[in-house]
């Protein structure tokens, strides 16, 4: 690598760093007598100095605190909700297991008697459906174990 190529690389790197420094520069807002609003990075007479996003960013250091007057559910209401949720999840699980069984039967019939490419496409669709039902059953069982 010769001196000219190093020089070119240094110039390109300096352009990169100057764009970063301009990103945090001060912005000025000016409203003229007709109500037109102009934003610029140069100081302008009668303009209002605005803070840029980089300068005003402050990382949040503490987690939000729960208010003492924040409403809390009593145990009875929460238990009723949990029971209803469990019932819904169990119903969904039963439905998914039924659909899985039906899909397995249909797939077995088609795989036993595959004649043309149309049935091959149907087999692929049923295999995809079978995989989706298996994933749904796994997810529902995981949700039920959390209750």
DSSP for 53-84, written as a single string: HHHH-----SPPPPPTTS----HHHHHHHHHH
Residue 112 lies in a domain: yes
Residue 103 lies in a domain: yes
Measured in whole angstroms, the distance separating CA 62 from the mean position of its chain's CA atoms is 23
Residue range 9-38: mean pLDDT, rounded: 70
Structural domain tally of the chain? Answer: 2
Q: What is the pTM of this model?
A: 0.45
* 84 and 37 part of one domain: no
* 45 and 83 part of one domain: no
Coil, strand, or helix at residue 39? strand
Residue 21 lies in a domain: no
Q: Which tokens belong to 93?
A: 């699980």
- Whether the CA torsion 73, 79, 83, 86 is positive or negative: it is positive
* 94 and 35 part of one domain: no
Residue 135 lies in a domain: yes
Burial of 54 (0-12, 13-18, 19+ CB in 10 A): exposed
Coil, strand, or helix at residue 31? strand
Instruction: Determine the structural domain holding residue 31 and report its residue range.
Output: 26-54
Q: Please determine, for residue 104, whether its predicted confidence score (pLDDT) is greater than 70.
A: yes
* 95 and 141 part of one domain: yes
* 50 and 79 part of one domain: no
Residue 43 lies in a domain: yes
Q: Which of 19-33, 79-93, 97-111 has the lowest mean pLDDT?
A: 19-33
Q: Please determine, for residue 113, whether its predicted confidence score (pLDDT) is greater than 90.
A: no
Residue range 17-46: mean pLDDT, rounded: 75
* 80 and 137 part of one domain: yes
Query: What is the Cα–Cα distance from 126 to 115, expressed in whole angstroms?
Result: 16
* 33 and 83 part of one domain: no
* 82 and 122 part of one domain: yes
């Amino acid at each position: 690598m010769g001196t000219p190529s190093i020089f070119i690389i240094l110039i390109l790197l300096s352009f990169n760093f100057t764009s970063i420094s301009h990103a945090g520069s001060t912005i000025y807002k000016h409203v003229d007598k007709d109500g037109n609003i102009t934003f610029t990075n140069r100081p302008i007479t009668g303009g209002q100095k605005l803070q840029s996003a980089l300068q005003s960013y402050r990382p949040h250091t503490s987690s939000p605190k729960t208010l003492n007057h924040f409403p809390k559910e009593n145990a009875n209401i929460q238990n009723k909700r949990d029971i209803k949720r469990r019932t819904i999840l169990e119903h969904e699980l039963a439905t998914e297991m039924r659909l899985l069984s039906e899909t397995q039967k249909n797939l077995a019939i088609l795989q036993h008697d595959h004649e043309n490419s149309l049935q091959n496409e149907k087999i692929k669709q049923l295999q995809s459906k079978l995989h989706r039902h298996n994933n749904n059953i796994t997810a529902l069982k995981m949700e039920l174990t959390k209750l």
